[in-house]
Structure 1
Amino acid sequence: MPKLSREEAKKRIEWLRKEIRRHNYLYYVLNKPEISDEEYDKLMEELRQLEEQFPEFITPDSPTQRVGAPPAKEFKTVRHVKPMLSLDAAHKEEEIRAFDRRVKKELGVENVEYVAEPKLDGLSVELIYEDGKYVRGSTRGDGVNGEDVTENIKTIRAVPLVLRDEEIPLPKMLAVRGEVIMHIKDFEELNKELIQRGEEPLANPRNAAAGSLRRLDPNETAQRPLDIFFYEIMHVEGDGIKIETQWEALQTLKKWGLKVNPLVKLCKNIEEAIEYHHEMEERRETLDYEIDGVV
């Protein structure tokens, strides 16, 4: 690497961070990578080397700073921005149609659109961004209070440490809900490794995801193949941000660089939503993650 002046290094570091974030967005959110893993690793390595040479330019939101926090003695308890509620389940189509009738009656409308997506079987978390920067992450806990796992969530590569502002303005504050999961093939691979080391295999992908996220040492979490999908804006503040529907919320999350399930669908009426449920039942065994229904 050619020797750079302090000013040149600063500009190069800023460019590398922006470029790495752009590739993260292409890979995790759009699923359209432009470069190979090897080329991506080269960008990361160059950034690491420059930050080593010029440590005064290291920032907490740099892509190199995902891992490195010391182990915690215990997790602190934090209060959620708003309660993380659980869902009521319905098992029969008539229950769903009755729900639709109640909604239409309450709203005084003849038709209601629904947003449907697979209900992931993972660990529900709340992430908070201030001025576009990731500042806190916590588990659902009892729905009102959860465990502070900020440093552990930071190690998940699909979590942007800085939101995108290329398409819409950054929120002053954003609280977003997501589901941390472990893909089935990654779970099977992890269990093979555990057995080879003489350790107890994990029961299922959900337990594996929950246990991995709740390691006291973030460096251990970083070794686990965790992924995340975001699905709810719990609270947002910012000029010019107007979100009126769940569909708009999901499209906005994507524009900010937060990964949304590509199987999400806008259904024109309750019959389309029921049809979507049938489709997911048929596809369930072919998905690379576990689900327990549709939401």
Structure 2
Amino acid sequence: MTDEPAARAAELRAQIAQHDYRYYVLDEPQIPDAEYDRLMQELRALEAQHPELITPDSPTQRVSGTPSAAFGEVVHQVPMLSLDNAFTEEDVQGFDRRIHERLGVAGELDYVAEPKLDGLAVTVIYREGLLERSATRGDGVRGEDVTANVRTIRAVPQRLRGEAPALLEARGEIFMPLAGFERMNEQARERGEKVFVNPRNAAAGSLRQLDARVTAARPLTAFFYGLGTLQGASLPGRQGQLLQWLRALGLPVCPDTRSVRGVTGCLAYYREMGERRRSLRYQIDGVVYKLDQRADQERLGFLSRAPRWAIAHKFAADEALTVVKGIEFQVGRTGALTPVARLAPVF
């Protein structure tokens, strides 16, 4: 074999990785889907002709052809904690006051505010830049090994960009964008199949498939917002800088994350996201505030289940009374009947 196929395969892998980065991290796609598919088809054909060219991080290796018998257990080296909740402005003010008291400081503090995604928390581990393992949060100490399924999600890079640390464990959220959720449910209705109740259930059910090929067909994506274990690199001094660093490594970060000043900035962000909530492309159930200075995060430490330096400010639940105006039965392609209630509009 000449060097030409190997060079072309390497070039195709690099091009596809760059297009994934532009699409999922920068939100600046450079080529149409048809051209992306053409690159993938060329790489698949080349690897089929020269199997020795297949690499672990090749985009063709995202989907495993063999279903798993069960999910293995993963023990988190650093526990995946939950967050305490705030439901009122007074709760947020109390959170900020406690931080001031523990740190013994005056004046407004800097926070990083981000949407609270309604998805499934996961951790992804990269060793020498290569994706090695992914697991669900589980009970915070032990989760399920979902590596094969997470590999199918194009937003999660197979290999980090630039100078990757020896070991990096990124924490984030797998979720299903609203457009993909609605499209998937519509297709299920046409086939006479059961639909998902909400995007969170759809994301969780899709990620916990024993056959990764099923997961690959679901419109999942991811945003990352924190770290677990890190070796071979120094942490940035601020939470906002950490997110910029993760983004530079090729890990997608929520574009609606923002640095804010004091409680006033936190609450203004909460109100803004509440107004924008129904126009976002993903589902959220609140916002999260994190102290920006990482040195202060370390000083504050953790409770048994949650960090002292972060809190989730939840939105009020959507509840309304309506009237069932009628029930219709839809027939799917398989002949299955699906009852559909017609409700009086409430908004």
CA distance in 2, matches of 1:73, 1:137: 17
Cα deviation for residue 281 of structure 1 reads 0.6
Instruction: Please identify the structure whose Cα radius of gyration is greater.
Output: 2
Matched residue, 1:26: 22
Matched residue, 1:242: 235
CA distance in 2, matches of 1:36, 1:225: 18
Is residue 253 of structure 1 aligned with residue 246 of structure 2? yes
Cα deviation for residue 66 of structure 1 reads 0.6
Is residue 117 of structure 1 aligned with residue 139 of structure 2? no
Uncovered stretches (5+) of structure 1, i.e. residues with no partner: none
- Residues 118, 291 of structure 1: 8 Å contact kept: yes
> 1:65-99: per-residue Cα shift (whole Å, max 9, x none)?
11124101111111112111111101111221121
- Residues 112, 257 of structure 2: 8 Å contact kept: yes
Give the ranges of 4+ consecutive aligned residues of structure 1 lying more than 2 Å apart after TM superposition: 108-111
- What SS does the aligned partner of 2:122 have? strand
CA distance in 2, matches of 1:69, 1:109: 56
Matched residue, 2:71: 75
TM-score by length of 2: 0.81
Matched residue, 1:177: 171
TM-score by length of 1: 0.94
More helix by share: 1
Q: Is 280-289 or 155-164 further displaced after alignment?
A: 280-289
CA distance in 2, matches of 1:189, 1:23: 24
Cα deviation for residue 242 of structure 1 reads 3.1
Instruction: Find the partner of 2:129 among 128, 132, 138.
Output: 132
Is residue 188 of structure 1 aligned with residue 185 of structure 2? no
- What SS does the aligned partner of 2:22 have? helix
CA distance in 2, matches of 1:258, 1:212: 21
Cα deviation for residue 268 of structure 1 reads 2.1
Uncovered stretches (5+) of structure 2, i.e. residues with no partner: 289-347
- Residues 80, 137 of structure 2: 8 Å contact kept: yes
Instruction: Find the partner of 1:227 among 218, 221, 228.
Output: 221
- Residues 254, 260 of structure 1: 8 Å contact kept: yes
> 1:257-288: per-residue Cα shift (whole Å, max 9, x none)?
00000000001222111100000011111112
CA distance in 2, matches of 1:196, 1:18: 38
Cα deviation for residue 289 of structure 1 reads 1.4
CA distance in 2, matches of 1:136, 1:74: 16
- What SS does the aligned partner of 1:96 have? helix
More strand by share: 2
Instruction: Find the partner of 1:211 among 205, 209, 226.
Output: 205
Matched residue, 2:46: 50
Q: Is 178-187 or 121-130 further displaced after alignment?
A: 178-187
Matched residue, 1:294: 287
In structure 2, give the amino acid aligned to 1:149.
V
Cα deviation for residue 200 of structure 1 reads 1.2
RMSD between superposed Cα atoms in Å: 1.1
Cα deviation for residue 251 of structure 1 reads 0.5
- Residues 235, 242 of structure 2: 8 Å contact kept: no
Instruction: Find the partner of 1:8 among 4, 10, 16.
Output: 4
Matched residue, 1:38: 34
- Residues 247, 266 of structure 1: 8 Å contact kept: yes
- What SS does the aligned partner of 2:86 have? coil
Cα deviation for residue 108 of structure 1 reads 2.6
CA distance in 2, matches of 1:273, 1:100: 10
- Residues 81, 175 of structure 1: 8 Å contact kept: no
